[in-house]
Structures are given as C-alpha cells and as structure tokens.
Structure 1
Amino acid sequence: MSCSLTLSHASFVLPEGRTLLEDLTFSLGPGRHGVVGDNGSGKSTLLRLLTGALPPTTGTVQVHGRLAHLQQTRAPGAATVADVLGVTPALAALGRIEAGSVDPADYELIGDDWDLPDRVERWLDRVGLAGLETTRPIEAVSGGEATLLRLAGLMLADPEVLLLDEPTNDLDRPARHRLEQIVDDFTGVLVVVSHDRGLLEHMQHIGEVRCRQVRWFGGPFSAWARSVELEQDAAHRAVSAARADVRRQRQDLVDQQTKQAHRDRQGRANAGSLPKIVAGAYQRRAEVSAGRLRGMHEDRLAASRSALESAQDRVRDDRRIRVDLPDTRVPARREVLRAVGVVPAHGTDRPFDLDLRGPERIALVGRNGAGKSSLLRALLGLQAPRAGRVEVHVPWRYLPQGVDLLDPGLSVLENVRRAVPGADPARVRAQLARFLFRGGSVDQVTGTLSGGERWRATLASLLLATPAPQLLVLDEPTNDLDLASIAHLAEALESYRGALLVVSHDESFLADLDLDRTLTVP
C-alpha cells in the first residue's frame, strides 16, 4: 500500500497570534503512530492539519492515500445507525433496485458495491455490534456504541490513512480490546492521539507534541516513557553540573577581582618611587590587562549561566502532588456505605449489593450501557433506583463524567474556598501549594488555566472540601485528561485516606490505584 503523510515546514498560528505548532517537518509511512502531549499542546490541531480540514499558516501538508478521520464528536445530523455508518443513500438505492427500480441514478450510486449489506454486517460484528439494525435511532445508542459505529463507517470506506482522536473515550473493556485488534490489523498509515496507555502500547512509534514541536520516538508507549526518563536523568545531571560551573566561574571572578584589588594597592604604593610619566604608563597597561582579564572571567560566567538556562530548559515540570489529608481517614471496620438490592434507574435489571467498610478502594466495571453511572447516582441518593435501599454513613464527594465543578470567573483560591467556607485564606493557600499552585498562581482566574491546571484545581476543591470527604466517588475521571493530569490524579489519590468508589475503563489507571476489589456491573 503506497500511502504517506508529509509535513514540510508546517506551522499553525492561532487567531490571537500565539504559535501552536512551528516548522514541523516529518513524513509518516505505513505503521502505527501514537501521538501524546499535554492538553492544549496542539494534538487535535495536528490531526486537523493532517486531514486538510485546517490549512497550515505556513508550510505544506501532503496526504497520499484515501484518508479517514475519527473525531471526538458525534456525526452531525445523523439520525440512524445507517447515517453514522454513511451508508443510508446506498442502502436505500439497493432497496429500490430490489423492488424493481431501473433508475440509472440508483445503479450509479451503488457502483460495484453490491455486497455493501454483507460488509456492513461484518464490520458491525467486528466492532461488537452484531445484529444492530441500521434503522435504529441514534438516540438509542450509547456514547461508546456511537464511537464504534463511526469507526465501522470509516473502515467501510477502506481507508489507507486512518487518523483517530482519543478513540477509547467512552469504550468499555471489550470494546477497547476490539479497537486494539483493528489497530493491530491495519496495514496503512495509522495516527492515534490518545492518553490510553494500553492502546499506546500497540504503537510502533510515539510522537510527543511539546513546545510547538513534534518529536518522534521508536517503539510503544513504554519505550517512550523510558526514553523520557533517561533523558530527564541526564538533564538533571546537566543542571547540577551547570550550577556547579556557575558557582566556580562566579568564584573565579571574585578571586580575580580580589587579586586585582591587591595588585592595584601595591601598584599605587610603588608608584611613588617612579617618575610620573613611567608610573602613568605602568598604570595604563595594568588597567588594560585587568580589564581584559575581568572581561574574560565575565564572559565565562555569562557562558556558564547560559549553559545552565539551556540545561534547565530540558528539564520537564515533573513536580508531584504531595498532600496530607488526615481528616479523610476512615477507621478500618467503619461502615461507609451499604446497598441492598439496588436496581439502578437505567441499565442492568439485576439487584446490586455492596457493603463498603473502612478505607476500601473499589472499582466498578462493566459493559457500556450496563448502568454504572446510574448506579453511582443511586448509591449517593442523587437518582431514585427502581428497587433497593442505600445507606451512606460518612461525608462524600462526587465527580460525575464531564461535569466541571469550578466557576470559570473565579480564581483558584476563590473556587477552593467555596468548598471550604470559613477557612483561613492563608491556610488554603498553603494547602494549594501542595497541589502545585504557588505564589500568584492561586489568584489566577480559573477560566484562563490550562487543562492540567484546571484539573489540579478541581482535585483541590474535591479533596480539601469541608467536611472532609471520607468517601470519594469518581465516574470515568480519566476521560479527556492528558497523561500528566492522570498522573496527578493518581498522586493525589495516593494521599487520600478515605474510601474510594471509581468507575473507569482505563485499566492502566485502575492498576495505579492499589484497589481492594473490582466489581462487575452485569
């Protein structure tokens, strides 16, 4: 398959004048290419440049091969499954022909694609949606099923270049594994933007979008992570060496100035015994020599400072969230939550029982549409179940899917103080420092924060709340988070002493949580 993606000196400048991507030059051939980077770094913009939907400000983008792009949003205007698959006109034409139509337009629409119904059936089966009627309204399809349908629709077009933007969002475990199989079997140019470490482990190359550039690494996610770790070790050593050199050059300059001051005093003492014209000549030569020597030491100091700045630029901001949350502690045998025979308002019809005691960490997993989110709301009394009863005996906090807890018009400090009314502002500032908000950053308006900063502020408002939450309930918390934000979430939960109930399809994230139990919602 002769297909490729090529960028030549491509840049993209946002309308407000900020350069998002700068002078990108690379070519991608057949293979599996993963793209990672912080939220806002330009990953989705890069995909739009590659599709041609967004022209570069400067430079060129060339695509060789049939291209398909899976975006994060649903297909606009789609009313049925067939609409999402992009086969409504062709299936309608086939139906008319089977009913006796001889309209040339119908035959032209079909072309050579007479086996379209069979191919639709095969791809629906491939993505785990076998038997789904093409006339089914799209409103009756879950978010994960809609993603799988859009992927099946792309694959029906037999693409040679396939671009996927966060394809595992909303997918359950079986669906993720089916996607991984499709990815492994694809023989063209595949570019995947994702924060899913499991999916990224199937990549053959990883491109990191950082500081307006895209840098490519060979191997899957684990190889990229190891490369970054080794680079950072070397960068920290380089910073230490550069700091030592700055200290050495600064001391050399001080020593030179001290010696020169001593020579100047000695020269003035000796000048009295010399003729004035001779003494003046000696003094001028001494001043020139001293100036040259001082300039040499100052140049060396400036060079060492420049080397230090360069070394510091190579060090990533890998600060960790370290927060002490003693008030969230739950005694080992204390009853936190008890559910008996709960049937959520949507999803499964099977009764659900749960006896959660002490600082247990429990994951709820299950297929898309099983009703996991509805079950969480029922357990917290936020939605009436169809049956059963629930008792919650401790203060709790809940983070639903896709819900922003912060007021974008307030500062970080003001948002967190809403969760801890009456708290001393100085104490809240000290606590926010543990969430990496220091100095003036606590007064920054939340609406101007980056995605990662906003997530840290959300964590702070959850975990610092009054009364301290002894039960924390999270519904798909890693959806839409970049890798750094997922790491910060895991770090914060390391410090959390209470009970944890989390719904997630992210197996790598769940593995980081030191879970006590994993329960399946049928």
Structure 2
Amino acid sequence: MPSTAVVCRDLSFSWPDGTVVLDGLDLALDGGRTGLVGANGSGKSTLLRLIAGELTPAGGEISVAGGVGYLPQTVTLDTGASVADLLGISERLAAIAAVEAGDASAENLAVVDDDWLVEERARAVLDRLGLPVGLDRSVGTLSGGEAVLAALAGLLVDPPEITLLDEPTNNLDEPARERLHAAVDNWPGTLVVVSHDRELLEHVDRIVELRAGAARTFTGTFRDYTAALEAEQEAARRMLRVAEADLAREKRQRAAAEIALARRKRYADKAFANKRMPKVVMNLRRAEAQVSAGKYRNLHDARLDEARAALAEAEAAVRDDDRIRIDLPATAVPAGRIVADLAGFTVRGPERIGVVGRNGAGKTTLLRAIHAAAAVPVGYLPQRLDVLDDDRSVLDNVRAAAPTATPQHVRAQLARFLVRGADVDRPAGTLSGGERFRVCLARLLLADPAPQLLLLDEPTNNLDLDSVAQLVAALSGYRGALVVATHDRHLLADIGVDRVHRVERP
C-alpha cells in the first residue's frame, strides 16, 4: 500500500468576501492515483490550490511528502514563449548548447546538472502524448488542447513527487484523451486529479469525495465508487422507510395512550362525584393517577422523540434527488420533418445526433452552419456559458428569452431547474458554476418560441458529475431535434443519440 503523500489537518479556507469553502477538513491522500470528485462549490479546485501552495489556509495545516506540481483548470500561457519554456527546460538546453560549443564554464555545468539527455526525454514525452512539435515552436501557435498536453508534458519531463491535475481533459479531443489515460496509467509518483471525465476516473486507484465539508475515500475506480454509493443509498432508503414506519407507529401508540388516560380520568371523575369512597382515599388515588399518567405520557413522548431522531438521522443519510424534471411539449417536432438541411448533412425531428471529431476538425463550425440553415426555432448553447447578463437577475435573464411569460410562471419553471426562492432574484454574476449552467439551460429550454432544434457545443466542459446528470435529466424532457458536439462518449450514451457524425479535418 502506498505511503501517505498529503495530509490535511483541520484545514479551513474562506474567500475575502467571507464565503467559507473548507471548514475543519481532515484528509489523507495516499500515493498512487486518486480521483477527487464532488459537487460544484465543494472545494475541489480550492483544495488543489491549497496543496500546491497557491493559496494560504485560514486555519489548520497541510503536510506534503515531496515536491508538488500543479496543472490548473485554465492554463494561462505566455504566447511569446517557446514549447521548451513551457516545459521548463529552455535554460538547460541553452547551457548544453553552450557547453557543446566549447563554453564549459562552472555556471553552465551547474545549470545542466548532468541532465544531458533532457532534450531527448522531452521529445519522447511529447511524442507519447501525441504532440510531436518542435521545442522552439511558439506557444501562441498551439491550440487549446495542444497547450494542455504541452503543460502536462512539462510535469512528466521532470516529474515531481506529487502531481495535481484540475480537469485535465477539458479541451482535449478523443485521441488526446486516450493518450492522457495511458499516461495516467503509468504516472510516476503520486497523482491527484479533479475530473468529471468518467473514463479518466476509471484509471485511478481510489476516489475521494468532498461532500458537506468532509472527505470520504472509496477504494477502486469511479465505477466501484458509484456501485458502493448506490448500495449505501439503497440501505439508507430502506432505513428511512423503517424509521418512517416506526414514527407512525409511535404516533398511533401515543394517541391510543391519550385515549386510555382520558377514559380513566372520566371513570375517576365519576367515582369522585358519586362519593363511592372516602374523600381522603379518592384524593390520594387521584394524585397517584396523575403521577402515573405523567409517567405514561413521558414514556410515550420519549419513544416518540427517539423515533423522530431516528427519522432525522435516516433522512440525513439519504442524498437529495437533485434531478431536473421538466416536460417540454412545445419543443416537439413531427417525426421525419426536416429542421435543417446542409449539403451532405440533414437534421430531422426528433432525432438526436452526436458530433465527434478531433480538435480543430470543425465541429463548432458545423453547429453554426446548422444554426444558420435551421427552418425551426433554435436554441444554441456555446462552449462558454456567456449567454447571461451578469448584472441582471436570474429571473430577468430567463424572461428576456420568454418575454410573454409572467414572473410567476418563470419562477415555477425555474424551480424545476432547481433554482428556487431568493436565488431567482440574484444577479447572474454571483452564481456558482453549477447554478449558472442550470440557469443557461433554463433560459434555453424555456424560451418563447420554444426551440425545436437544440445545438450544444461541448456541454459537459467544466461541469461536475452532478451537473452532467442534471443535463441528461433535462434533455429527457426535450422533444425536438438535438445535435451535440462532444468528446464525452458517456454523455452520448446517456442522452440516447440516434446516430454519430464524425467531422474530419479538411
């Protein structure tokens, strides 16, 4: 069993505005490969930044067994730098070149530090990741996916003892994802990866879940984690049914006890009124009866309180069913009706089409062309969720797409997208990633006129697994034609595509 690589003790962190992210977190991460999962806002990315030293804890401590390398979710690049700069080897390459040219100074030799094969090692890593680019190539000429692969290569050329990856498969096409999966299988040292990519999470040794401010470790891959969770939840639901039945029984028994006590009291009052016994005796028995009734009530009240506590505990163990349930009859399209017709590509209602292909092959271009050629109302969700006005409220953003809908109607519909109460009046700019996604989806699906063709461009990028499940649930109520460009094969299976169209580079 690998030794412990990272230990967090009583770890706390809050943002400057007072928002608490972590509060007293205890966590131990063993060596090997760990997948870190949790809902948006649970603190996954913040935890990686704390371990990497980019953020300072408000309380507690972090211990790491070695150097830490970190690849953030969004890679910020110096477009004027070279690939060698990105890999962190340009200074060594320059020193080696100087020594080979005859300048064997102590300074150059110290920079080389006997790492004479760094160029060969770097090229081998780039080739393994499917990125056979020149080391002197400008970073500004790389695509988003190529830049991520190059940054990953830098962590493999000089691997630290501990590597942290935050959503590394974002912007990677299918072949690049497969190469990353292979690299993870053989990753040196300790690897901690935050990801919504279920395929990537099948290549880890354990899953750590952040939920409700605590961390739980599940041995095995993501499939093992979901199986263990489902078994646990089935047991929790069973215990909830038992607790509900116990509470109902205790309530019935409490009511029956009150009826019995009332009957005894009526009998005692009648006996007192008829003076069947000496007054002293009757007063004594009345006092005894009152004491006995109090004990009887206390006994049943205690049992009722125990049943209520057991029910509360059982309810806490059952996870909320945060699923979007919505029916969208206005989006329906008659079977076979052509909703968009391009040269060599026709979309008919209500078919579901998956668009796949390598980065740069033209998937987004195809979606835009379908949009332009559509013969029905279209809803389009771009890769960046920039369709909202951050200064306007959630309600106003959704009503902008459905101006004839009343505020009450929109509020009721937003509740079906799990946006309720005061959240409806919040400015869109204050929403979390998951909340923003649900509002964008609501704005799209609740539009007037209703979209009979839905175009989604990499909809699961930057979404946690709960949000992906919510997307699938929302699309189950959509009745129009659907075209989804994605690298996520699980998503295509979950939404039930009728056919897959592969876009090849020209």
TM-score for both structures, normalised by structure 2 = 0.93
Name the structure 1 match of 2:231.
Answer: 230
Identity %, equivalent residues: 49
Among residues 361, 364, 367, which one is paired with 1:376 in the alignment? Answer: 367
> Residues 253 and 300 of structure 2 are in contact (CA less than 8 Å); yes or no, is this contact kept in structure 1?
yes
> Residues 330 and 499 of structure 1 are in contact (CA less than 8 Å); yes or no, is this contact kept in structure 2?
yes
Name the structure 2 match of 1:457.
Answer: 439
Amino acid at match of 2:166: D
> Residues 77 and 139 of structure 2 are in contact (CA less than 8 Å); yes or no, is this contact kept in structure 1?
no
Name the structure 1 match of 2:118.
Answer: 116
> Residues 12 and 60 of structure 2 are in contact (CA less than 8 Å); yes or no, is this contact kept in structure 1?
no
> Residues 4 and 189 of structure 1 are in contact (CA less than 8 Å); yes or no, is this contact kept in structure 2?
no
User: In the aligned structure 2, how far is the partner of 1:454 from the partner of 1:292?
Assistant: 55
Name the structure 2 match of 1:307.
Answer: 310
Question: Which stretches in structure 1 are left out of the alignment for 5+ residues?
Answer: 341-352, 382-390
Give the deviation of 1:95 after TM superposition: 2.5
Give the deviation of 1:19 after TM superposition: 4.3
> Residues 332 and 350 of structure 2 are in contact (CA less than 8 Å); yes or no, is this contact kept in structure 1?
yes
Name the structure 2 match of 1:13.
Answer: 13
- What are the residue-to-residue correspondences of 1:87-486 with 2, within 5 Å? 87-130=89-132, 132-272=133-273, 273=275, 274-340=277-343, 353-381=344-372, 391-438=373-420, 441-486=423-468
Given the alignment of the two structures, is residue 74 of structure 1 paired with residue 67 of structure 2, yes or no?
no
Give the deviation of 1:128 after TM superposition: 0.5
> Residues 3 and 161 of structure 1 are in contact (CA less than 8 Å); yes or no, is this contact kept in structure 2?
no
Post-superposition CA distance 1:238-282 (Å, at most 9, x none) = 222212222222222222222112212222222242443333322
Amino acid at match of 1:520: R
User: In the aligned structure 2, how far is the partner of 1:445 from the partner of 1:287?
Assistant: 60
Among residues 482, 493, 497, which one is paired with 2:475 in the alignment? Answer: 493
Of 511-520 and 190-199, deviating more is: 511-520
Amino acid at match of 2:331: T
Post-superposition CA distance 1:489-520 (Å, at most 9, x none) = 11111221111121111111122122122222
Give the deviation of 1:110 after TM superposition: 0.8
Residues 252 and 440 (structure 1 numbering): CA distance in 2 closer, same or farther, change over 3 Å? farther
Q: Residue 403 of structure 1 aligns to a residue in which SS? A: coil
Residues 240 and 510 (structure 1 numbering): CA distance in 2 closer, same or farther, change over 3 Å? same
> Residues 9 and 58 of structure 1 are in contact (CA less than 8 Å); yes or no, is this contact kept in structure 2?
no
> Residues 5 and 50 of structure 1 are in contact (CA less than 8 Å); yes or no, is this contact kept in structure 2?
no
User: In the aligned structure 2, how far is the partner of 1:12 from the partner of 1:25?
Assistant: 10
User: In the aligned structure 2, how far is the partner of 1:146 from the partner of 1:461?
Assistant: 33
Give the deviation of 1:439 after TM superposition: 5.2
Residues 186 and 425 (structure 1 numbering): CA distance in 2 closer, same or farther, change over 3 Å? same
Name the structure 1 match of 2:485.
Answer: 503
User: In the aligned structure 2, how far is the partner of 1:259 from the partner of 1:177?
Assistant: 72
Give the deviation of 1:191 after TM superposition: 1.2
Question: Which stretches in structure 2 are left out of the alignment for 5+ residues?
Answer: none
Give the deviation of 1:2 after TM superposition: 7.6
Post-superposition CA distance 1:278-308 (Å, at most 9, x none) = 3332222222221122122112211211111
> Residues 3 and 188 of structure 1 are in contact (CA less than 8 Å); yes or no, is this contact kept in structure 2?
no
Amino acid at match of 2:416: R
> Residues 163 and 190 of structure 1 are in contact (CA less than 8 Å); yes or no, is this contact kept in structure 2?
yes
Give the deviation of 1:482 after TM superposition: 0.7
> Residues 8 and 26 of structure 1 are in contact (CA less than 8 Å); yes or no, is this contact kept in structure 2?
yes
Post-superposition CA distance 1:99-134 (Å, at most 9, x none) = 33233222111111111110111011011011x122
User: In the aligned structure 2, how far is the partner of 1:25 from the partner of 1:431?
Assistant: 39
> Residues 3 and 189 of structure 1 are in contact (CA less than 8 Å); yes or no, is this contact kept in structure 2?
no
User: In the aligned structure 2, how far is the partner of 1:379 from the partner of 1:144?
Assistant: 25
User: In the aligned structure 2, how far is the partner of 1:490 from the partner of 1:449?
Assistant: 21
Residues 408 and 291 (structure 1 numbering): CA distance in 2 closer, same or farther, change over 3 Å? farther
Post-superposition CA distance 1:428-465 (Å, at most 9, x none) = 33333332345555445444444333322211110111
Q: Residue 203 of structure 2 aligns to a residue in which SS? A: coil
User: In the aligned structure 1, how far is the partner of 2:8 from the partner of 2:416?
Assistant: 43
Residues 412 and 239 (structure 1 numbering): CA distance in 2 closer, same or farther, change over 3 Å? farther
User: In the aligned structure 2, how far is the partner of 1:483 from the partner of 1:169?
Assistant: 14
Name the structure 2 match of 1:46.
Answer: 47
User: In the aligned structure 2, how far is the partner of 1:306 from the partner of 1:233?
Assistant: 20
Residues 377 and 111 (structure 1 numbering): CA distance in 2 closer, same or farther, change over 3 Å? same
Alignment coverage as a number of residue pairs = 500
> Residues 361 and 517 of structure 1 are in contact (CA less than 8 Å); yes or no, is this contact kept in structure 2?
yes
Root mean square deviation of aligned Cα: 2.2
Residues 441 and 67 (structure 1 numbering): CA distance in 2 closer, same or farther, change over 3 Å? closer
User: In the aligned structure 1, how far is the partner of 2:426 from the partner of 2:280?
Assistant: 66
User: In the aligned structure 2, how far is the partner of 1:3 from the partner of 1:277?
Assistant: 79
User: In the aligned structure 1, how far is the partner of 2:26 from the partner of 2:419?
Assistant: 36
User: In the aligned structure 2, how far is the partner of 1:202 from the partner of 1:154?
Assistant: 18
Given the alignment of the two structures, is residue 86 of structure 1 paired with residue 88 of structure 2, yes or no?
yes
> Residues 5 and 31 of structure 2 are in contact (CA less than 8 Å); yes or no, is this contact kept in structure 1?
no
